[in-house]
Amino acid sequence: MKYFKNLVKPYVLWSSVMIIIPLFVMLLYAVTNSGNSLVNIQFTFENFKRFAEPVYLNVFVKSLKLGIITVAICLVVGYTLAYIIAQFKERTQTVLILLVTIPMWINMLLRTYAWISILSDNGIINTFLEKLGLSPISMMYTDFAVMIGQICDFLPYMIIPIHTSLSKMDKSYTEAAYDLGANPVQTFFKVTFKLSIPGVLNGVIMVFLLSISTFVIPKLLGGGQYVLMGNLIENQFISVGDWNFGSAISILLASIILLAIRWMKKIDTGENSQK
């Protein structure tokens, strides 16, 4: 066992250099306002206060809303798919899960560009509509475009954990429920769904985390005026060059994500203790 403990050391070293130190630097940027060089340090909460302006709060609300909707749709679609997959024979399941993961082998950027050529005003859908004699629909640079891009990119992260907990479930539980006179709907909500909650929570956390911090998808499918938290941070770092404010927003975003994870973990343990 001791031998294995030593194997962890490089990882600890690596993560402290690559994660802890940068995080600390980010925190330092967030509470100072001396520019990007960090030469004369002056502590301030100015950067956090700035975020309280209505414009930025709106961005935050918009991100949160989009994140929650994405999670909700991914959950419904992902759960259904995972459930269907779990009904097949084990061999078939492996193949089906492979099919779910195949899109993830392709770079996210490319998948998003594919959506551009599907949705754009002269894209595949509109060309098709035109052939049918229907008037074209403008889909690019709308909530719809951003949403569909996000859902497609993040769906596998929902399906896989749910499928894992569904496939590990002992079939005799549902059989028992039927024997005790529960109908299929009752069986699903009282037995199957409850037992799969750990998987659901993992999926929800992952998709929420990805969708609230995304910036490439809204930028490409929503245009430059589609500003979410991720875009705000990217702007501060890359084009504005205000790393202090950028770090402050990042810290805020990170704390929100941490809180959300904690809250969901609590639900999880609450469920477990009920059993």
Partner 1 sequence: MKKVISLIICGVLILGLVGCGEEKPSIKVYNAGEYIDTSLISDFERENDCRVIYETFDSNESMYTKVMSGEKYDVIIPSDYMIERLIKEGFLQEIDKTQISNYEKLIPGILSKDFDPENKYAVPYFWGSVGILYDKTVVSEEDINAGWEILKNPKYKDDIYMYDSERDSFMIALKALGYSLNTDDKSELDKAYEWLVEQNEIMNPVYVGDEVIDNMISGNKSIAIVYSGDAAYIMSENENLEYFEPEEGTNIWVDGMVVTKDCADVELSHKFIDFMLDAENAFKNSEAVGYTSSVQEVFEEVRDTIYNDNSAYVPRQGGAKDEYFRYQDAETKKYCAELWTKVKSQ
Nearer of residues 58 and 80 to partner 1, judged by Cβ: 58
Instruction: Report which secondary-structure segment, H or E, holds 186.
Output: helix 184-187
Residue 242 as a binder of partner 1 (CB under 8 A): the answer is yes
Question: CB of 141 within 8 A of CB of 226?
Answer: yes
Residue 239 as a binder of partner 1 (CB under 8 A): the answer is yes
Q: Residue 2 burial (CB < 10 Å; 0-12/13-18/19+)?
A: exposed
Residue 238 as a binder of partner 1 (CB under 8 A): the answer is yes
Closest distance to partner 1 from the beta carbon of 146 (Å): 13
Q: How far is CA 196 from CA 122, 149, 183, 208, 235, in A?
A: 43, 27, 19, 18, 40
Nearer of residues 58 and 92 to partner 1, judged by Cβ: 58
Segment 22 to 61, residues that bind partner 1, using CB under 8 A:
36, 55-56, 58-59
Residue 240 as a binder of partner 1 (CB under 8 A): the answer is yes
| Half-sphere CA count of 18, side-chain side, radius 13 A | 6
* DSSP one-letter string for 99-128: HHHHHHHS-HHHHHHHHHHHHSTTSHHHHH
Nearer of residues 72 and 124 to partner 1, judged by Cβ: 124
Among 223, 254, 257, 261, the residue binding partner 1 under the rule CB under 8 A is 223
Closest distance to partner 1 from the beta carbon of 230 (Å): 13
- Separation CA 54–CA 60 (nearest Å): 10
- Separation CA 77–CA 259 (nearest Å): 26
Segment 153 to 172, residues that bind partner 1, using CB under 8 A:
none
Residue 227 as a binder of partner 1 (CB under 8 A): the answer is yes
Closest distance to partner 1 from the beta carbon of 119 (Å): 11
Closest distance to partner 1 from the beta carbon of 50 (Å): 8
- Separation CA 129–CA 137 (nearest Å): 9
Residues in contact with partner 1 by the rule CB under 8 A: 36, 55-56, 58-59, 120-122, 138, 140-141, 223-225, 227, 232, 235-242
